[in-house]
Amino acid sequence: MLKDNELVLRPVMEHDLPVIWEGAFSSDTPEWKRWDAPYFPHHKKTYEEFLTKKEQYLNAQDVMVIEIHGEVYGTVTYYWEHEPSKWLEMGITFYREVHWGKGYGTRALRLWIGHLFDTLPLVRVGYTTWSGNHRMIRVGEKLGMQMEARIRKVRFHDGQYFDSIRMGMLREEWIR
């Protein structure tokens, strides 16, 4: 468990699954999806469909829930872009808008980055977002990340082209 006052990152437990399903898959158009890669399709799932992949959440090393004041509000994740070279990408999803814009995402990612550097033999950690998600770009800047790449006009959403943005941090930058 990782903790920053009332914000906790912890492994997913069985009783978290209904909250994760509701936030992530109970709707065809969840609000968070407007900001999290809206150019990729999102598909609603029944709870039963979701439960067929519950092991991806339970006892997983690559996902933790974000808990605030004892309630689950989202998840942090990571995946290997290229494991042999230790290229890891991370992500965050807050299902409930009520906590957007209050610094919780920055705090959660600060804990997550520390955990990843402490537990994995990483040289770098980063994430990919898009130029329409100004809040996520700002989170990276607040954490001391660098904009490592801007791939221009490769994301098409709502009749408009956006840039793909790669944010990252090296271990030595994190230690400083």
pLDDT at 34: 85
Q: Please report the domains of the chain, with CATH numbers, ordered by start residue.
A: 2-127 (3.40.630.30)
Give the C-alpha separation, 25 to 51, whole Å: 11
DSSP-assigned letter for residue 153: E
Residues of the chain with pLDDT under 70: none
Torsion on CA atoms 78, 81, 83, 87, rounded to nearest 10: -80
pLDDT at 59: 84
